[in-house]
Amino acid sequence: MTASRTPTAAAELRGAGLRVTAARVALLDTVRQGGHLGAETIAGRVRERVGHISLQAVYEALHALTAAGLVRRIEPAGGPARFEGRTGDDHHHLVCRECGAVTDVDRVAGRAACLEPAHAAGYLIDTADVTFWGLCPACRPHGTGDRGSTASTLAAPPTT
C-alpha cells in the first residue's frame, strides 16, 4: 500500500498546463504558506528564494495561477487584492476594518450562502464571495467581549 502524496508545486503547474519556472514554484509555495498576501509581500518573499523578480512578473504569474485555479484572489473593498492558496472549497472571509487582517471562515455545513438570490436576472450562478466585516480581537476596544456566536455578533444591531 502506498501513501498518497501531495503533489509538488511543479507537478501542479504542469498539471494546469503552465510552464514550470523557479519563480512560479516559489510564488505558489509562498502563497500557500502565507495566508492572505498582497502582491508586494509575495514578491519580497519570492525574491528571498530566487533572487530578482519584477513586481510585474509577480502580477502576471498570479494572474496565470488564479486563472488555473491554483490560487484564489480576494479583493476586500477599499484594500488591495490578496492571494491565498486555499482553493476549491466554499469558504468565506472575515476582514478587520481597522488593520485589514483577513481570516478564513468555513461556511455553515449544509448551506450555500448567497447562492440563491431572490432574483438571479438570468445568471447561472456558480460561486459567491461572502465577506464579513468587523474588528479583529487585536483592534476591538477593550472590554467588548464575545457576545455569543459569530453569527449573533455580526447580526447584532449597533448599541447607542
The length of the chain, given as a count of residues = 160
The partner residues of 96 in beta bridges, in order of sequence, read 134
CA distance readout (Å), 22 to 3, 27, 52, 53, 140: 27, 8, 11, 11, 41
Type of residue found at 94: L
Residue 70 grid coordinates? 491554483
- Running DSSP on this structure, what letter comes out for residue 56? H
pLDDT score for 121 = 82
Residue ranges of the chain whose pLDDT lies below 50: 147-160
The pLDDT score that the predictor gives to residue 126 is 73
Rounded distance between C-alpha atoms, residue 137 and residue 65, angstroms: 32
